[in-house]
Chain A
Amino acid sequence: MLQITEVGKTFHPLTVNERVALRGVNLHLDEGDFVTIIGSNGAGKSTLLNVVAGRHMIDQGSVVIDGEDVSKQPEYKRARNVSRVFQDPMAGTAPHLTIEENLAIAVARGRGGGLRRAVTHARREIFRTELKTLELGLEHRLTTLVGMLSGGQRQALSLLMATFVEPRILLLDEHTAALDPSRAELISRLTTEAVARHRLTALMVTHNMNQALSMGNRLIMMHDGEIVLEAVGEHKKSLTAQHLLDEFSKIKGAQLTDRTLLQG
Protein backbone atom coordinates (compact mmCIF):
# COMPACT_ATOMS: atom_id res chain seq x y z
CA MET A 1 0.00 0.00 0.00
CA LEU A 2 2.74 2.42 1.02
CA GLN A 3 6.37 1.93 0.08
CA ILE A 4 8.91 4.35 1.44
CA THR A 5 12.23 3.43 -0.09
CA GLU A 6 15.64 4.90 0.78
CA VAL A 7 14.06 8.26 1.52
CA GLY A 8 16.43 11.06 2.47
CA LYS A 9 15.62 14.61 3.43
CA THR A 10 17.96 17.41 4.47
CA PHE A 11 16.78 20.83 5.55
CA HIS A 12 18.75 23.96 4.65
CA PRO A 13 21.39 21.99 2.73
CA LEU A 14 24.84 23.56 2.35
CA THR A 15 24.20 26.17 5.03
CA VAL A 16 25.30 26.37 8.66
CA ASN A 17 21.76 25.33 9.58
CA GLU A 18 21.97 22.10 7.58
CA ARG A 19 20.05 19.36 9.31
CA VAL A 20 19.60 15.82 8.08
CA ALA A 21 16.06 14.81 8.99
CA LEU A 22 15.80 11.44 7.23
CA ARG A 23 18.70 9.14 6.31
CA GLY A 24 17.63 6.54 3.77
CA VAL A 25 14.47 5.43 5.55
CA ASN A 26 12.76 2.25 4.35
CA LEU A 27 9.25 1.40 5.43
CA HIS A 28 6.69 -0.79 3.72
CA LEU A 29 3.09 -0.86 4.82
CA ASP A 30 0.53 -3.43 3.75
CA GLU A 31 -3.11 -2.57 3.43
CA GLY A 32 -4.65 -2.25 6.88
CA ASP A 33 -1.34 -1.77 8.69
CA PHE A 34 -1.50 0.69 11.58
CA VAL A 35 1.99 1.79 12.54
CA THR A 36 2.77 3.85 15.63
CA ILE A 37 5.97 5.90 15.54
CA ILE A 38 7.91 6.98 18.60
CA GLY A 39 11.24 8.72 19.04
CA SER A 40 12.83 11.72 20.66
CA ASN A 41 12.42 15.26 19.37
CA GLY A 42 14.15 15.81 16.06
CA ALA A 43 14.23 12.10 15.28
CA GLY A 44 12.44 12.68 11.96
CA LYS A 45 8.99 11.39 12.88
CA SER A 46 7.04 14.39 11.68
CA THR A 47 9.29 14.77 8.65
CA LEU A 48 8.46 11.19 7.70
CA LEU A 49 4.75 12.00 7.77
CA ASN A 50 5.34 15.24 5.88
CA VAL A 51 7.18 13.52 3.04
CA VAL A 52 4.35 11.03 2.69
CA ALA A 53 1.83 13.89 2.64
CA GLY A 54 3.89 15.87 0.15
CA ARG A 55 4.38 18.86 2.37
CA HIS A 56 8.12 18.31 2.06
CA MET A 57 9.63 17.08 -1.19
CA ILE A 58 12.24 14.35 -0.71
CA ASP A 59 15.89 14.68 -1.77
CA GLN A 60 16.35 10.99 -2.61
CA GLY A 61 14.47 7.71 -2.66
CA SER A 62 10.81 7.25 -3.49
CA VAL A 63 7.35 7.27 -2.00
CA VAL A 64 4.93 4.88 -3.68
CA ILE A 65 1.26 4.77 -2.74
CA ASP A 66 -0.84 1.90 -4.08
CA GLY A 67 1.65 1.25 -6.87
CA GLU A 68 1.87 4.90 -7.95
CA ASP A 69 5.11 6.83 -7.45
CA VAL A 70 3.99 10.07 -5.83
CA SER A 71 7.45 11.40 -4.94
CA LYS A 72 7.00 14.45 -7.13
CA GLN A 73 3.28 14.98 -6.67
CA PRO A 74 2.26 18.24 -4.96
CA GLU A 75 0.57 18.09 -1.59
CA TYR A 76 -2.94 18.93 -2.80
CA LYS A 77 -2.90 16.10 -5.37
CA ARG A 78 -1.74 13.56 -2.84
CA ALA A 79 -4.60 14.61 -0.60
CA ARG A 80 -6.81 12.42 -2.78
CA ASN A 81 -5.14 9.37 -1.21
CA VAL A 82 -3.57 10.73 1.94
CA SER A 83 -5.34 12.49 4.75
CA ARG A 84 -3.96 13.98 7.91
CA VAL A 85 -4.81 15.06 11.42
CA PHE A 86 -2.40 17.59 12.88
CA GLN A 87 -1.21 18.09 16.44
CA ASP A 88 -2.73 21.57 16.62
CA PRO A 89 -6.52 21.15 16.98
CA MET A 90 -6.94 24.49 15.16
CA ALA A 91 -5.00 23.32 12.10
CA GLY A 92 -7.37 20.79 10.58
CA THR A 93 -10.51 22.89 10.27
CA ALA A 94 -11.50 26.32 8.95
CA PRO A 95 -12.72 28.43 11.93
CA HIS A 96 -14.89 30.92 10.02
CA LEU A 97 -16.76 28.21 8.17
CA THR A 98 -19.62 26.27 9.70
CA ILE A 99 -19.39 22.62 10.68
CA GLU A 100 -21.37 21.60 7.60
CA GLU A 101 -19.19 23.71 5.30
CA ASN A 102 -16.03 22.15 6.73
CA LEU A 103 -17.51 18.71 6.18
CA ALA A 104 -18.51 19.67 2.64
CA ILE A 105 -14.86 20.36 1.88
CA ALA A 106 -13.92 16.91 3.13
CA VAL A 107 -16.71 15.30 1.11
CA ALA A 108 -15.56 17.04 -2.07
CA ARG A 109 -11.94 16.07 -1.47
CA GLY A 110 -10.08 15.05 -4.59
CA ARG A 111 -13.04 15.75 -6.84
CA GLY A 112 -12.03 19.34 -7.50
CA GLY A 113 -14.34 22.19 -6.59
CA GLY A 114 -17.31 22.16 -8.90
CA LEU A 115 -20.18 24.59 -9.07
CA ARG A 116 -22.62 22.37 -7.27
CA ARG A 117 -24.02 23.46 -3.94
CA ALA A 118 -21.60 22.60 -1.16
CA VAL A 119 -24.27 21.93 1.43
CA THR A 120 -27.30 20.07 0.13
CA HIS A 121 -30.09 18.32 1.93
CA ALA A 122 -28.64 14.92 1.03
CA ARG A 123 -25.16 15.84 2.21
CA ARG A 124 -26.58 17.21 5.46
CA GLU A 125 -28.09 13.82 6.19
CA ILE A 126 -24.70 12.17 5.65
CA PHE A 127 -23.04 14.77 7.90
CA ARG A 128 -25.57 14.13 10.68
CA THR A 129 -25.06 10.37 10.52
CA GLU A 130 -21.29 10.73 10.56
CA LEU A 131 -21.27 13.34 13.34
CA LYS A 132 -23.38 11.07 15.50
CA THR A 133 -20.48 8.60 15.64
CA LEU A 134 -18.47 11.25 17.53
CA GLU A 135 -21.08 11.31 20.31
CA LEU A 136 -20.43 15.00 20.94
CA GLY A 137 -23.86 16.27 19.89
CA LEU A 138 -22.34 18.10 16.93
CA GLU A 139 -25.05 16.66 14.68
CA HIS A 140 -27.40 19.28 16.15
CA ARG A 141 -25.00 22.16 15.48
CA LEU A 142 -24.36 21.91 11.73
CA THR A 143 -24.50 25.68 11.21
CA THR A 144 -22.24 26.56 14.14
CA LEU A 145 -18.96 28.21 13.17
CA VAL A 146 -16.12 25.77 13.83
CA GLY A 147 -14.19 28.55 15.59
CA MET A 148 -16.77 28.34 18.40
CA LEU A 149 -15.91 24.71 19.19
CA SER A 150 -13.44 23.53 21.83
CA GLY A 151 -10.08 22.02 20.91
CA GLY A 152 -11.30 18.49 21.54
CA GLN A 153 -14.42 19.00 19.44
CA ARG A 154 -12.36 20.50 16.62
CA GLN A 155 -9.93 17.61 16.74
CA ALA A 156 -12.77 15.10 16.63
CA LEU A 157 -14.16 16.95 13.61
CA SER A 158 -10.70 16.95 11.97
CA LEU A 159 -10.50 13.21 12.48
CA LEU A 160 -13.92 12.72 10.94
CA MET A 161 -13.00 14.95 7.99
CA ALA A 162 -9.80 12.96 7.49
CA THR A 163 -11.47 9.57 7.52
CA PHE A 164 -14.92 9.63 6.06
CA VAL A 165 -13.94 9.70 2.41
CA GLU A 166 -11.79 6.62 3.11
CA PRO A 167 -8.28 7.74 2.22
CA ARG A 168 -5.66 5.16 1.24
CA ILE A 169 -3.37 6.43 3.99
CA LEU A 170 -4.17 8.22 7.23
CA LEU A 171 -1.40 10.26 8.88
CA LEU A 172 -1.74 11.24 12.52
CA ASP A 173 0.87 13.64 13.89
CA GLU A 174 0.61 13.60 17.69
CA HIS A 175 -3.02 14.41 17.21
CA THR A 176 -3.94 13.88 20.87
CA ALA A 177 -0.92 15.66 22.38
CA ALA A 178 -2.53 19.08 22.73
CA LEU A 179 -5.68 17.79 24.44
CA ASP A 180 -6.55 17.20 28.07
CA PRO A 181 -6.41 13.52 29.16
CA SER A 182 -10.13 12.77 28.85
CA ARG A 183 -10.34 14.38 25.40
CA ALA A 184 -7.15 12.61 24.35
CA GLU A 185 -8.75 9.36 25.45
CA LEU A 186 -11.85 10.11 23.36
CA ILE A 187 -9.85 11.00 20.25
CA SER A 188 -7.75 7.83 20.64
CA ARG A 189 -10.88 5.73 20.86
CA LEU A 190 -12.43 7.47 17.85
CA THR A 191 -9.20 6.93 15.91
CA THR A 192 -9.15 3.21 16.64
CA GLU A 193 -12.82 2.95 15.68
CA ALA A 194 -12.40 4.92 12.44
CA VAL A 195 -9.33 2.96 11.38
CA ALA A 196 -11.13 -0.32 12.02
CA ARG A 197 -14.39 0.76 10.41
CA HIS A 198 -12.79 2.03 7.19
CA ARG A 199 -9.92 -0.53 7.33
CA LEU A 200 -7.42 2.30 6.90
CA THR A 201 -3.68 2.10 6.53
CA ALA A 202 -2.31 4.49 9.11
CA LEU A 203 0.87 6.07 10.45
CA MET A 204 0.65 7.65 13.89
CA VAL A 205 3.35 9.70 15.58
CA THR A 206 3.04 9.85 19.35
CA HIS A 207 5.04 10.77 22.42
CA ASN A 208 2.85 8.64 24.60
CA MET A 209 4.43 5.21 25.11
CA ASN A 210 1.23 3.56 26.25
CA GLN A 211 -0.62 4.90 23.24
CA ALA A 212 2.15 3.64 20.95
CA LEU A 213 1.87 0.19 22.53
CA SER A 214 -1.89 -0.12 22.79
CA MET A 215 -2.77 1.16 19.32
CA GLY A 216 -1.90 -0.32 15.95
CA ASN A 217 -0.32 -3.61 14.86
CA ARG A 218 3.20 -2.31 14.22
CA LEU A 219 5.56 -0.01 16.06
CA ILE A 220 8.71 1.73 14.94
CA MET A 221 11.18 3.79 16.92
CA MET A 222 13.11 6.51 15.15
CA HIS A 223 16.32 8.20 16.09
CA ASP A 224 18.37 10.77 14.22
CA GLY A 225 16.60 10.24 10.90
CA GLU A 226 16.65 6.44 10.99
CA ILE A 227 14.36 3.64 12.06
CA VAL A 228 16.19 1.98 14.95
CA LEU A 229 13.56 -0.46 16.18
CA GLU A 230 10.69 -2.25 14.53
CA ALA A 231 8.13 -4.48 16.19
CA VAL A 232 5.29 -6.30 14.47
CA GLY A 233 2.31 -8.31 15.68
CA GLU A 234 3.10 -10.62 18.61
CA HIS A 235 6.49 -9.00 19.18
CA LYS A 236 4.79 -5.62 19.50
CA LYS A 237 2.20 -7.03 21.89
CA SER A 238 4.95 -8.41 24.13
CA LEU A 239 6.63 -5.01 24.45
CA THR A 240 6.21 -2.84 27.55
CA ALA A 241 6.89 0.81 28.17
CA GLN A 242 9.99 -0.24 30.13
CA HIS A 243 11.37 -2.06 27.05
CA LEU A 244 10.99 1.06 25.00
CA LEU A 245 12.60 3.27 27.65
CA ASP A 246 15.52 0.84 27.86
CA GLU A 247 15.90 1.00 24.08
CA PHE A 248 15.85 4.79 24.27
CA SER A 249 18.61 4.94 26.85
CA LYS A 250 20.65 2.37 24.91
CA ILE A 251 20.58 4.65 21.86
CA LYS A 252 21.33 7.71 23.93
CA GLY A 253 24.20 5.83 25.62
CA ALA A 254 25.61 4.72 22.28
CA GLN A 255 25.52 8.27 21.09
CA LEU A 256 27.32 9.38 24.24
CA THR A 257 30.16 6.91 23.69
CA ASP A 258 30.45 8.09 20.09
CA ARG A 259 30.87 11.63 21.27
CA THR A 260 33.31 10.71 23.97
CA LEU A 261 35.36 8.84 21.38
CA LEU A 262 35.32 11.79 19.04
CA GLN A 263 36.37 14.14 21.78
CA GLY A 264 39.11 11.80 22.92
Chain B
Amino acid sequence: MIIALELGFLFAIMALGVYLTYRVLDFPDLTVDGSFTTGASVAAVMMVNGVDPVLASVCAVVAGMLAGTVTGLLHTAGRINPLLAGILTQIALYSVNLRIMGRANVPLLRETTVFTPLREAGLIGTWVSVGVMVLLALAVMGLLDWFLGTDMGVAMRATGDNEEMARSQGIATDRVKIFGLAISNGLVAGCGALVAQFTGFADISMGIGLIVAGLASVIVGQAIFGSRTVAISTFAVVLGSVIYRGVIQVALNVGLNPNDMKLISAGLVVVALVLPRWEPVRKWRTARSNRRISDEADLVDSVAGSVN
Protein backbone atom coordinates (compact mmCIF):
# COMPACT_ATOMS: atom_id res chain seq x y z
CA MET B 1 0.00 0.00 0.00
CA ILE B 2 3.04 2.29 0.39
CA ILE B 3 3.27 2.52 -3.39
CA ALA B 4 -0.34 3.78 -3.53
CA LEU B 5 0.53 6.50 -1.01
CA GLU B 6 3.67 7.52 -2.90
CA LEU B 7 1.87 7.68 -6.22
CA GLY B 8 -1.24 9.20 -4.68
CA PHE B 9 0.62 12.18 -3.26
CA LEU B 10 2.83 12.49 -6.35
CA PHE B 11 -0.13 12.50 -8.73
CA ALA B 12 -1.92 14.94 -6.41
CA ILE B 13 0.12 17.69 -8.10
CA MET B 14 -1.53 16.78 -11.40
CA ALA B 15 -4.94 16.55 -9.71
CA LEU B 16 -4.49 20.08 -8.29
CA GLY B 17 -3.88 21.27 -11.84
CA VAL B 18 -7.07 19.57 -12.96
CA TYR B 19 -8.92 21.15 -10.01
CA LEU B 20 -7.80 24.60 -11.15
CA THR B 21 -9.33 24.21 -14.61
CA TYR B 22 -12.27 21.90 -13.95
CA ARG B 23 -13.51 23.43 -10.71
CA VAL B 24 -12.08 26.93 -10.47
CA LEU B 25 -12.31 27.97 -14.12
CA ASP B 26 -15.19 25.59 -14.94
CA PHE B 27 -13.18 24.53 -17.98
CA PRO B 28 -12.89 20.74 -18.46
CA ASP B 29 -9.39 20.78 -19.93
CA LEU B 30 -8.32 17.69 -21.85
CA THR B 31 -4.89 19.13 -22.66
CA VAL B 32 -3.75 17.27 -19.55
CA ASP B 33 -3.26 13.92 -21.31
CA GLY B 34 -0.77 15.56 -23.66
CA SER B 35 0.91 18.07 -21.38
CA PHE B 36 1.69 15.41 -18.73
CA THR B 37 3.73 13.50 -21.32
CA THR B 38 5.24 16.76 -22.57
CA GLY B 39 6.56 17.43 -19.08
CA ALA B 40 7.95 13.91 -18.81
CA SER B 41 9.54 14.08 -22.29
CA VAL B 42 11.17 17.46 -21.79
CA ALA B 43 12.61 16.48 -18.41
CA ALA B 44 13.75 13.04 -19.62
CA VAL B 45 15.49 14.28 -22.74
CA MET B 46 17.21 17.08 -20.84
CA MET B 47 18.43 14.74 -18.11
CA VAL B 48 19.73 12.23 -20.65
CA ASN B 49 21.70 15.12 -22.11
CA GLY B 50 23.22 15.87 -18.73
CA VAL B 51 21.06 18.74 -17.50
CA ASP B 52 20.54 19.04 -13.77
CA PRO B 53 17.28 17.24 -12.82
CA VAL B 54 15.83 20.23 -10.95
CA LEU B 55 16.45 22.54 -13.91
CA ALA B 56 15.02 19.89 -16.25
CA SER B 57 11.87 19.69 -14.10
CA VAL B 58 11.50 23.47 -14.13
CA CYS B 59 11.78 23.44 -17.94
CA ALA B 60 9.08 20.75 -18.01
CA VAL B 61 6.77 23.09 -16.07
CA VAL B 62 7.44 25.87 -18.57
CA ALA B 63 6.69 23.53 -21.49
CA GLY B 64 3.40 22.58 -19.85
CA MET B 65 2.52 26.23 -19.36
CA LEU B 66 3.08 26.81 -23.08
CA ALA B 67 0.76 23.91 -23.89
CA GLY B 68 -1.91 25.38 -21.61
CA THR B 69 -1.46 28.77 -23.24
CA VAL B 70 -2.12 27.21 -26.65
CA THR B 71 -5.39 25.69 -25.41
CA GLY B 72 -6.28 29.03 -23.83
CA LEU B 73 -5.66 30.92 -27.07
CA LEU B 74 -7.66 28.38 -29.07
CA HIS B 75 -10.56 28.92 -26.71
CA THR B 76 -10.39 32.69 -26.23
CA ALA B 77 -8.95 34.12 -29.45
CA GLY B 78 -10.21 31.23 -31.59
CA ARG B 79 -13.61 30.95 -29.86
CA ILE B 80 -13.34 27.16 -29.84
CA ASN B 81 -15.40 25.14 -27.37
CA PRO B 82 -13.34 24.24 -24.27
CA LEU B 83 -13.49 20.47 -24.73
CA LEU B 84 -12.53 20.71 -28.39
CA ALA B 85 -9.73 23.21 -27.72
CA GLY B 86 -8.25 20.79 -25.18
CA ILE B 87 -8.57 17.77 -27.47
CA LEU B 88 -6.91 19.63 -30.34
CA THR B 89 -3.90 20.58 -28.22
CA GLN B 90 -3.74 17.10 -26.74
CA ILE B 91 -3.62 15.42 -30.16
CA ALA B 92 -1.10 17.93 -31.48
CA LEU B 93 1.07 17.31 -28.41
CA TYR B 94 1.27 13.60 -29.24
CA SER B 95 3.36 14.47 -32.28
CA VAL B 96 5.25 17.17 -30.41
CA ASN B 97 6.11 14.73 -27.63
CA LEU B 98 7.44 12.19 -30.13
CA ARG B 99 9.55 14.95 -31.67
CA ILE B 100 10.92 15.90 -28.26
CA MET B 101 11.84 12.33 -27.33
CA GLY B 102 12.78 11.20 -30.82
CA ARG B 103 11.24 7.82 -30.00
CA ALA B 104 8.40 6.39 -27.96
CA ASN B 105 10.31 5.70 -24.76
CA VAL B 106 13.25 7.29 -22.96
CA PRO B 107 14.64 5.24 -20.04
CA LEU B 108 16.11 7.16 -17.11
CA LEU B 109 17.36 4.28 -15.00
CA ARG B 110 21.03 5.29 -15.09
CA GLU B 111 20.43 9.04 -14.94
CA THR B 112 20.63 11.21 -11.88
CA THR B 113 17.11 12.31 -10.99
CA VAL B 114 15.61 14.30 -8.14
CA PHE B 115 14.83 10.95 -6.51
CA THR B 116 18.38 9.53 -6.82
CA PRO B 117 19.37 10.43 -3.23
CA LEU B 118 16.31 8.59 -1.91
CA ARG B 119 16.89 5.63 -4.20
CA GLU B 120 20.57 5.28 -3.27
CA ALA B 121 19.70 5.37 0.41
CA GLY B 122 17.19 2.61 -0.25
CA LEU B 123 14.34 4.78 0.99
CA ILE B 124 12.02 4.47 -2.03
CA GLY B 125 9.00 2.45 -1.00
CA THR B 126 9.40 3.41 2.66
CA TRP B 127 7.60 5.94 4.86
CA VAL B 128 10.44 8.36 4.20
CA SER B 129 9.63 8.57 0.50
CA VAL B 130 5.94 8.82 1.35
CA GLY B 131 6.85 11.75 3.61
CA VAL B 132 8.77 13.42 0.78
CA MET B 133 5.77 13.05 -1.54
CA VAL B 134 3.44 14.42 1.13
CA LEU B 135 5.68 17.48 1.51
CA LEU B 136 5.77 17.99 -2.25
CA ALA B 137 1.99 17.73 -2.57
CA LEU B 138 1.36 19.98 0.44
CA ALA B 139 3.82 22.58 -0.87
CA VAL B 140 2.01 22.78 -4.20
CA MET B 141 -1.34 22.79 -2.39
CA GLY B 142 -0.19 25.63 -0.14
CA LEU B 143 0.99 27.66 -3.12
CA LEU B 144 -2.32 27.15 -4.88
CA ASP B 145 -4.28 28.08 -1.73
CA TRP B 146 -2.21 31.22 -1.41
CA PHE B 147 -2.68 32.17 -5.07
CA LEU B 148 -6.44 31.63 -4.99
CA GLY B 149 -6.62 34.03 -2.03
CA THR B 150 -4.92 36.91 -3.86
CA ASP B 151 -6.70 39.55 -5.94
CA MET B 152 -5.67 37.68 -9.09
CA GLY B 153 -6.78 34.33 -7.68
CA VAL B 154 -10.17 35.63 -6.58
CA ALA B 155 -10.56 37.18 -10.04
CA MET B 156 -9.86 33.75 -11.53
CA ARG B 157 -12.46 32.11 -9.29
CA ALA B 158 -15.01 34.78 -10.21
CA THR B 159 -14.29 34.21 -13.90
CA GLY B 160 -15.13 30.53 -13.53
CA ASP B 161 -18.13 31.22 -11.31
CA ASN B 162 -19.84 34.09 -13.17
CA GLU B 163 -17.97 35.29 -16.23
CA GLU B 164 -20.46 38.02 -17.03
CA MET B 165 -20.06 39.51 -13.58
CA ALA B 166 -16.29 39.19 -13.74
CA ARG B 167 -16.11 41.14 -16.98
CA SER B 168 -18.46 43.81 -15.68
CA GLN B 169 -16.14 44.17 -12.69
CA GLY B 170 -13.19 44.90 -14.97
CA ILE B 171 -11.61 41.45 -15.03
CA ALA B 172 -9.97 40.58 -18.36
CA THR B 173 -11.60 37.17 -18.39
CA ASP B 174 -9.87 35.90 -21.54
CA ARG B 175 -6.45 36.65 -20.12
CA VAL B 176 -7.41 35.11 -16.80
CA LYS B 177 -8.50 31.89 -18.50
CA ILE B 178 -5.29 31.63 -20.51
CA PHE B 179 -3.26 32.21 -17.37
CA GLY B 180 -5.25 29.62 -15.44
CA LEU B 181 -4.80 27.03 -18.17
CA ALA B 182 -1.08 27.80 -18.23
CA ILE B 183 -0.68 27.30 -14.47
CA SER B 184 -2.80 24.16 -14.55
CA ASN B 185 -0.82 22.54 -17.34
CA GLY B 186 2.42 23.72 -15.77
CA LEU B 187 1.49 21.72 -12.66
CA VAL B 188 0.46 18.73 -14.78
CA ALA B 189 3.72 18.80 -16.76
CA GLY B 190 5.75 19.23 -13.58
CA CYS B 191 3.98 16.18 -12.20
CA GLY B 192 4.78 14.33 -15.45
CA ALA B 193 8.45 15.19 -15.04
CA LEU B 194 8.46 13.90 -11.44
CA VAL B 195 6.58 10.71 -12.35
CA ALA B 196 9.06 9.99 -15.15
CA GLN B 197 11.92 10.39 -12.67
CA PHE B 198 10.15 8.25 -10.09
CA THR B 199 9.28 5.39 -12.44
CA GLY B 200 12.55 5.68 -14.39
CA PHE B 201 11.25 6.35 -17.88
CA ALA B 202 9.24 8.71 -20.06
CA ASP B 203 6.81 7.06 -22.42
CA ILE B 204 4.60 8.45 -25.18
CA SER B 205 1.53 6.72 -23.75
CA MET B 206 2.01 7.62 -20.08
CA GLY B 207 -0.55 10.44 -20.22
CA ILE B 208 -3.36 8.57 -21.94
CA GLY B 209 -6.54 8.71 -19.88
CA LEU B 210 -4.83 10.75 -17.19
CA ILE B 211 -7.58 13.37 -17.20
CA VAL B 212 -9.89 10.68 -15.84
CA ALA B 213 -7.52 10.04 -12.95
CA GLY B 214 -7.42 13.78 -12.33
CA LEU B 215 -11.20 14.13 -12.45
CA ALA B 216 -11.60 11.07 -10.24
CA SER B 217 -9.34 12.66 -7.62
CA VAL B 218 -11.23 15.96 -7.73
CA ILE B 219 -14.72 14.50 -7.78
CA VAL B 220 -14.18 11.64 -5.31
CA GLY B 221 -12.21 13.89 -2.97
CA GLN B 222 -14.80 16.66 -2.96
CA ALA B 223 -17.72 14.23 -2.74
CA ILE B 224 -16.20 12.90 0.49
CA PHE B 225 -14.55 15.93 2.05
CA GLY B 226 -16.61 18.78 0.60
CA SER B 227 -15.67 22.03 -1.10
CA ARG B 228 -16.87 24.76 1.25
CA THR B 229 -13.65 26.77 0.99
CA VAL B 230 -10.59 26.76 -1.24
CA ALA B 231 -8.48 25.18 1.49
CA ILE B 232 -10.99 22.36 2.00
CA SER B 233 -11.30 21.84 -1.75
CA THR B 234 -7.59 21.55 -2.45
CA PHE B 235 -7.06 19.32 0.56
CA ALA B 236 -9.93 17.13 -0.67
CA VAL B 237 -8.27 16.90 -4.08
CA VAL B 238 -4.98 15.72 -2.56
CA LEU B 239 -6.76 13.08 -0.47
CA GLY B 240 -8.92 12.19 -3.48
CA SER B 241 -5.77 11.43 -5.44
CA VAL B 242 -4.56 9.12 -2.67
CA ILE B 243 -7.94 7.38 -2.51
CA TYR B 244 -7.92 6.94 -6.28
CA ARG B 245 -4.48 5.30 -6.23
CA GLY B 246 -5.64 3.17 -3.33
CA VAL B 247 -8.61 1.88 -5.30
CA ILE B 248 -6.37 1.13 -8.28
CA GLN B 249 -3.92 -0.71 -6.00
CA VAL B 250 -6.71 -2.79 -4.47
CA ALA B 251 -7.98 -3.64 -7.94
CA LEU B 252 -4.49 -4.78 -8.94
CA ASN B 253 -4.08 -6.78 -5.73
CA VAL B 254 -7.28 -8.72 -6.32
CA GLY B 255 -5.78 -9.85 -9.59
CA LEU B 256 -7.17 -7.44 -12.17
CA ASN B 257 -5.02 -6.79 -15.20
CA PRO B 258 -3.25 -3.38 -15.43
CA ASN B 259 -5.01 -3.00 -18.78
CA ASP B 260 -8.33 -2.97 -16.91
CA MET B 261 -7.35 0.13 -14.95
CA LYS B 262 -8.79 2.63 -17.45
CA LEU B 263 -12.14 0.87 -17.14
CA ILE B 264 -11.91 0.97 -13.35
CA SER B 265 -10.96 4.67 -13.45
CA ALA B 266 -13.87 5.59 -15.68
CA GLY B 267 -16.22 3.50 -13.53
CA LEU B 268 -15.00 5.25 -10.39
CA VAL B 269 -15.68 8.69 -11.86
CA VAL B 270 -19.17 7.63 -12.94
CA VAL B 271 -19.94 6.30 -9.45
CA ALA B 272 -18.62 9.49 -7.84
CA LEU B 273 -20.76 11.60 -10.13
CA VAL B 274 -23.95 9.57 -9.91
CA LEU B 275 -23.93 8.35 -6.32
CA PRO B 276 -24.37 11.76 -4.66
CA ARG B 277 -27.52 12.28 -6.75
CA TRP B 278 -29.03 8.95 -5.69
CA GLU B 279 -32.00 9.57 -3.39
CA PRO B 280 -30.91 7.68 -0.20
CA VAL B 281 -27.42 9.19 -0.33
CA ARG B 282 -28.87 12.63 -0.91
CA LYS B 283 -31.15 12.36 2.08
CA TRP B 284 -28.30 11.19 4.25
CA ARG B 285 -26.11 14.07 3.12
CA THR B 286 -28.80 16.70 3.58
CA ALA B 287 -29.45 15.40 7.04
CA ARG B 288 -25.75 15.53 7.78
CA SER B 289 -25.22 19.08 6.69
CA ASN B 290 -27.55 21.87 5.75
CA ARG B 291 -24.93 24.55 5.88
CA ARG B 292 -23.25 23.83 2.60
CA ILE B 293 -24.44 24.87 -0.84
CA SER B 294 -25.67 21.58 -2.26
CA ASP B 295 -22.80 19.70 -3.77
CA GLU B 296 -25.32 17.56 -5.59
CA ALA B 297 -26.39 20.55 -7.62
CA ASP B 298 -22.73 21.25 -8.26
CA LEU B 299 -22.16 17.76 -9.53
CA VAL B 300 -25.28 17.83 -11.67
CA ASP B 301 -24.04 21.14 -13.09
CA SER B 302 -20.62 19.76 -13.79
CA VAL B 303 -22.02 16.70 -15.54
CA ALA B 304 -24.27 18.89 -17.61
CA GLY B 305 -21.29 21.16 -18.24
CA SER B 306 -19.12 18.31 -19.44
CA VAL B 307 -21.83 16.99 -21.72
CA ASN B 308 -22.38 20.35 -23.37
Contact = CB atoms under 8 A, between A and B. Distances in A.
B154 A118 contact: yes
Interface stretch (B132-140, B162-170, B259-267): B162-170
B150 A91 contact: no
B155 A113 contact: yes
Nearest to B154: A118
A117 interface: yes
Contacts of A91: 162, 164-165
Contact of A76 (B151, B153, B156, B171): B171
A147 B157 CA distance: 14
A224 interface: no
A117 B169 contact: no
The 3 nearest A-B residue pairs measured at CB? A79-B170, A113-B152, A94-B161
Interface string A113-157: 111111100000000000000000000000001011000000000
Given A94-B157, A101-B157, A148-B293, A108 B167 contact: no
B170 to A, nearest CB: 3
B214 to A, nearest CB: 20
B158 interface: yes
B151 A147 contact: no
A83 B168 CA distance: 7
Nearest to A81: B170
B171 A113 contact: yes
Chain B interface mostly: helix
B155 A108 contact: yes
Contacts of A97: 154, 157-158, 161
Given A91-B165, A148-B293, A110 B154 contact: no
Given A93-B162, A96-B161, A118 B153 contact: yes
A105 B158 contact: yes
B22 to A, nearest CB: 14
Residue among A84, A118, A119, A148 with max Cβ neighbours from chain B (10 Å): A118
A114 B170 contact: no
Given A113-B154, A114-B150, A148-B293, A105 B167 contact: no
Contacts of B164: 86, 91
Given A94-B162, A108-B155, A115 B293 contact: no
A55 to B, nearest CB: 8
A86 B155 CA distance: 19
Nearest to B153: A118
A79 B164 CA distance: 12
Contact of B293 (A75, A83, A96, A101): A96
Contacts of A117: 149-151
B129 interface: no
B293 A147 contact: yes
Residue among B158, B162, B170 with max Cβ neighbours from chain A (10 Å): B170
Contacts of B176: 113
A96 B293 CA distance: 8
A120 to B, nearest CB: 10
Interface in A65-86: 74-77, 79-80, 83-84, 86
Contacts of B293: 95-96, 145, 147-148
Contact of A80 (B154, B162, B170): B170
Contact of B158 (A74, A75, A94, A148): A94
A134 to B, nearest CB: 18
Contacts of A79: 167-171
A80 B169 CA distance: 8
A53 interface: yes
A76 B167 contact: yes
A105 B152 contact: no
28 contacts: A74-B172, A76-B172, A77-B170, A79-B169, A80-B170, A86-B164, A91-B164, A94-B157, A95-B161, A95-B162, A97-B157, A101-B154, A104-B151, A105-B169, A108-B155, A109-B169, A110-B170, A111-B151, A113-B150, A113-B155, A114-B150, A115-B147, A115-B151, A116-B150, A117-B149, A117-B151, A118-B150, A161-B169
Contact of A113 (B151, B161, B165, B168): B151
A209 interface: no
A114 B172 CA distance: 13
